[in-house]
């Protein structure tokens, strides 16, 4: 019932024998040796600063299918001994750990990656031990090079190899024993030729002891027989693996009641189904519907949310609940559960998921108001308190009182609502204003749902202060609305993206960028014309791997606010049925479709981890890139099945000025793009299909807002063109 909290056992060293999971590459993925109980006084390595780690391990970090987990830690010990460091990881339900060796990055920082093939909570742990053989080998080679006598050292090395042989089995034991004997009797020190090289096939050239000590085969044998007896063990941490759509998605929000094919008629779920081909042609993969439940009549808001409703006013879909039912009912004018099921089937055939809204609040006519009066706050005069944000009042909505003494009963009922829609086939939810409801409740609810259905995605619609936005992500929301909607200037966008992609925020907060929503028509869209719509779309779709638009308002460039200085749409669809002319020739549907196709075809745009900004002296030109596979060691680990076979680098330039042509010289960070400064490279504008050949970091661009105010370039050296996707 109560939110699952990371318990103390997380910090306990796991000292049991571990089973082995099968894995593909025996060179790096190995049986994790038994951790034996060692006296704490003999444990010498120190493990600090393990990442990803959210709030000291209180919450899991986020990952997704196809996105390897990158684990880093500071690892060191007293003195000068070499270390052997590894990450043990364990997918949900697995019986044992799998180990992968970590590589040193310098300055005592180590890194390893492990693949994510299963949904749900994976555990991992850093383990480090003194590498006695590597320490011995380094010192012995230095002494031999200095001309010192190493006879005693060779005997010491033989002891170490004998110890490894004892821990080995079969061929390994025989080979290590043979090595130990070779060292013990090497009459001419390191230059002695090994008579019977146990690792070489017949007829191979003989090797010296010095060669053998550095042979990869020996390295591998020693790794397999490493002694974890006095290992340091880091905290057991978790990473939650979501489906790929959690990382890479394009959302399209529409009001079903405006989806009618004929003007003015109340649209239905069947109308939405009929529109799916249009949405698919634009390349979206999530269709998000505002609440589809019955709407209250008491204190119903009229047009533009002002005054009382007239008879024809449909009310706000967020004033949930009426005689026909509450959060598990469908508005009768929209259709039935059968219609919803049909919509879901049709959407899935097109690779689209339908997202529903979770808005835990009630109209005064909601059945819960009658059945569970204690779930609402009562005033001294006996009335129920409606929603207010003084001096504003929302008389058509009763907030739920999460401080009710019946909170356990309430939580169960709300969880049942989500469970109900999951049973209807919904796997994506947009949660309305989660920051005004109990955080403890969300933490519990999301854990409950994901324990059984790890594929379910929750988007947090919170536009509030940074700490609270981030907290929602920590406690389990899959994706989050952001401040992107109001970030306009180059420095604002660069600073915000740096916060989202290069700090620890990137470990748990997945941005979903929206240029507009039914609540927000930002000033730049009101006044910037077509160029503003195009540039904001490109920014949202390429800065963030998750983004969405509220349509058809967006593609039809709806830009009139309720009044000057307001961000509310005039004739807001929140309170009215809108009759959209989707066939208008100025519709941006074609452009949007092209941008979404570019996104799909370029894996660089499927994540945010490699985002880099490039310098341009003109502050109206924003230039950035994303790559895939530029640095395989730092990003992709073993077992990533859908990685492209060639690097993918996308360079975006956006003119932030919707009025004037802007030009400037880009100063590209070629290394970040995987480009060789000495060779020319192809620059292919995927929006216009224009091709250019550039060389070196400095290149000229000019963008005219009367045409396409952005470049989305695919860049690569010409000889790799054949491998281009």
Mind telling me the catalytic residues? 432, 461
The residue (of 81 and 455) whose beta carbon lies closer to a second copy is: 81
Smallest distance from a second copy to CB 678, Å: 31
Q: Per CB under 8 A, which of residues 27..66 are in contact with a second copy?
A: 39-44, 46, 48, 55-57
Q: Which is nearer to a second copy, 119 or 144 (CB)?
A: 144
Contact between 107 and a second copy by CB under 8 A: the answer reads yes
3 near a second copy, rule: CB under 8 A: yes
Please identify which residue in 22, 37, 95, 152 interacts with a second copy, judged by CB under 8 A: 152
3-state DSSP helix/strand/coil percent for the chain, to nearest 5? Answer: 30, 25, 45
Owner of token pair 């020739």: 585
Nearest CA-CA partner of 450 in 423, 487, 477: 477
Burial zone of 436 (CB within 10 Å; 0-12 exposed, 13-18 middle, 19+ buried)? middle
Cβ proximity to a second copy: between 26 and 49 the closer is: 49
d(CA 368, CA 376): 9
216, β-bridge pairs: none
User: Is residue 141 exposed (0-12), middle (13-18) or buried (19+ Cβ within 10 Å)?
Assistant: middle
Contact flag: residue 155 with a second copy (CB under 8 A): yes
Residue 391 or 585 with smaller CB distance to a second copy: 391
Q: Which residue, 81 or 638, is less far from a second copy as judged by CB?
A: 81
**Could you tell me the smallest distance in angstroms from the CB atom of residue 499 to a second copy?**
13
Our finding on whether 465 is near a second copy (CB under 8 A) is: yes
Please select the residue that binds a second copy; options are 20, 96, 101, 108, rule is CB under 8 A: 108
Q: Measured between alpha carbons, how far is 136 from 157 in angstroms, rounded to an integer? A: 7
- Cβ at position 232, least distance to a second copy in Å: 10
| Helix H or strand E segment including 532 | helix 529-543
Whether cis (ω within 30° of 0) applies to the bond prior to 391 is yes
Quick one: which of 113, 438, 587, 608 contacts a second copy (CB under 8 A)?
Answer: 438
| 318: contact with a second copy by CB under 8 A | no
Q: By C-beta, is 20 or 38 nearer to a second copy?
A: 38
458 binds a second copy (CB under 8 A): no
d(CA 23, CA 680): 41
**Is there binding between residue 136 and a second copy (CB under 8 A)?**
no
Give pairs for 485-493: CB < 8 Å, separation 24+.
Answer: 485/513, 485/514, 485/515, 485/516, 485/517, 485/520, 485/522, 486/522, 488/524, 488/656, 489/619, 489/656, 490/619, 490/620, 490/621, 490/622, 490/656, 491/619, 493/539, 493/543, 493/622
Q: How far is CA 318 from the centre of its chain?
A: 29
Distance of CA 582 to the CA centre of its chain: 33
- Report if residue 166 touches a second copy, rule: CB under 8 A: no
| Interatomic CA distance for residues 638 and 25, integer angstroms | 7
Number of residues that bind a second copy (CB under 8 A): 62
Q: Does 149 bind a second copy (CB under 8 A)?
A: no
Site string for a second copy, 381-410 (x = CB under 8 A): x-x----xxxx----------xx---xx--
CA gap 338, 325 in Å, rounded: 17
Please pick, from the candidates 26, 104, 373, 466, the single residue that binds a second copy as defined by CB under 8 A. 466
Q: At what angle do helices 529-543 and 589-601 cross, to 10 degrees?
A: 20
Is 143 or 372 the residue whose CB approaches a second copy more closely?
Answer: 143
The residues in 62-81 that bind a second copy, with binding defined as CB under 8 A, are 74, 76-80
Q: Which residue, 54 or 289, is less far from a second copy as judged by CB?
A: 54
Report, in Å, the least distance between residue 380 CB and a second copy: 4
Cβ 414 to a second copy, closest distance in Å? 12
Q: Footprint of a second copy on residues 193-252 (CB under 8 A)?
A: 230
Strand partners, 46: 76
The tokens describing 168, both together, are 């080995």
User: Which segments of 275-388 does DSSP mark as H helices, in order?
Assistant: 276-281, 337-349, 367-371
From the list 28-36, 138-146, 280-288, 608-616, the region that binds a second copy by CB under 8 A is: 138-146
439-452 vs 407-423: helix axis angle to the nearest 10?
A: 40
Query: In the complex, which residues of this chain contact a second copy (CB under 8 A)?
Result: 1-3, 8, 11, 39-44, 46, 48, 55-57, 74, 76-80, 107-108, 138-139, 142-143, 145-146, 148, 152, 155-156, 159, 230, 379-381, 383, 388-391, 402-403, 407-408, 411, 435-441, 444, 465-468, 471
């Amino acid at each position: 019932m109560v939110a699952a909290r990371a318990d103390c056992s997380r910090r306990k060293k796991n000292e049991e024998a571990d089973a082995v999971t099968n894995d593909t590459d025996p060179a790096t993925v190995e049986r994790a040796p038994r951790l034996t109980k060692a006296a704490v006084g003999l444990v010498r390595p120190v493990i600090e600063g393990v990442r990803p780690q959210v709030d000291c391990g209180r919450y899991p970090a986020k990952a997704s299918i196809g996105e390897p987990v990158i684990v880093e830690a500071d690892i060191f010990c007293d003195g000068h001994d070499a270390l052997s460091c590894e990450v043990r990881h364990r997918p949900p339900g697995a019986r044992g750990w799998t180990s992968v060796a970590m590589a040193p990055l310098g300055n005592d920082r180590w890194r390893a990656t492990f693949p994510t093939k299963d949904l749900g909570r994976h555990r991992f742990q850093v383990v480090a031990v003194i590498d006695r053989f590597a320490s011995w080998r380094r010192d012995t080679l230095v002494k031999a090079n200095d001309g010192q006598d190493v006879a005693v050292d060779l005997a010491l090395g033989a002891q170490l190899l004998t110890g490894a042989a004892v821990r080995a089995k079969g061929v390994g034991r025989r080979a290590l024993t043979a090595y130990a004997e070779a060292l013990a009797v090497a009459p001419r020190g390191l230059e002695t030729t090994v008579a019977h090289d146990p690792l070489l096939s017949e007829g191979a050239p003989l090797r010296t002891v010095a060669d053998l000590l550095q042979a990869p085969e020996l390295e591998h044998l020693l790794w397999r027989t490493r002694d974890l007896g006095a290992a340091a063990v880091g905290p057991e941490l978790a990473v939650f693996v979501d489906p790929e759509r959690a990382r890479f998605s394009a959302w399209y929000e529409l009001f079903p009641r405006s989806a009618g094919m004929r003007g003015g008629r109340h649209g239905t779920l069947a109308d939405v189904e009929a529109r799916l081909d249009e949405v698919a042609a634009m390349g979206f993969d999530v269709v998000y519907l505002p609440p589809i439940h019955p709407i209250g009549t008491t204190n119903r808001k009229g047009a533009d949310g002002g005054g009382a409703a007239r008879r024809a006013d449909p009310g706000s879909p967020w004033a949930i609940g009426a005689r026909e039912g509450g959060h598990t009912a469908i508005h009768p004018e929209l259709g039935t559960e059968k219609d919803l099921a049909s919509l879901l089937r049709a959407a899935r055939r097109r690779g689209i998921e339908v997202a529903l809204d979770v808005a835990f609040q009630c109209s005064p006519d909601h059945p819960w108001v009658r059945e569970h009066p204690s779930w609402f706050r009562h005033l001294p005069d006996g009335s129920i308190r409606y929603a207010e944000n003084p001096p504003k009042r929302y008389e058509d909505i009763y907030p739920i009182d999460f401080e009710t003494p019946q909170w356990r009963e309430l939580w169960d009922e709300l969880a049942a609502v989500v469970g109900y829609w999951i049973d209807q086939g919904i796997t994506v939810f947009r949660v309305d204003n989660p920051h005004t409801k109990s955080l403890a409740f969300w933490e519990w609810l999301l854990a409950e749902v994901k324990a059984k259905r790890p594929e379910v995605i929750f988007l947090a619609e919170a536009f509030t202060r940074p700490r609270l936005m981030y907290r929602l992500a920590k406690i389990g929301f899959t994706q989050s609305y952001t401040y992107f909607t109001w970030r306009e200037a180059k420095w604002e966008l660069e600073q915000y993206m740096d916060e989202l992609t290069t700090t620890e925020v990137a470990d748990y907060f997945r941005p979903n960028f929206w240029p507009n929503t039914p609540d927000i028509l930002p000033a730049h869209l009101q006044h910037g014309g077509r160029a503003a719509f195009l540039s904001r779309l490109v920014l949202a779709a390429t800065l963030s791997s998750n983004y969405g638009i509220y349509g058809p308002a967006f593609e039809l460039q709806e830009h009139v606010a309720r009044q000057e200085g307001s961000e509310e749409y005039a004739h807001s669809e929140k309170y009215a049925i809108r009759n959209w002319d989707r066939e208008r020739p100025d519709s941006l549907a074609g452009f949007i479709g092209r941008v979404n196709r570019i996104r799909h075809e370029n894996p660089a745009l499927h994540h945010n981890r490699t985002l880099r900004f490039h310098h341009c002296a003109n502050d109206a030109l924003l230039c950035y890139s994303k790559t895939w596979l530029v640095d395989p060691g730092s990003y992709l680990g073993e077992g990533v099945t859908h990685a492209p076979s060639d690097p993918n680098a996308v360079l975006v330039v956006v003119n932030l000025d919707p009025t004037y042509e802007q030009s400037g010289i880009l100063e590209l960070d070629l290394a970040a793009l995987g480009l060789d400064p000495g060779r020319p490279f192809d620059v292919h504008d995927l929006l216009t299909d224009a091709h250019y050949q550039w060389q070196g970091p400095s290149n000229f661009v000019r963008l005219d807002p009367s045409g396409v105010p952005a470049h989305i370039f695919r860049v690569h050296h010409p000889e790799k063109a054949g491998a281009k996707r």
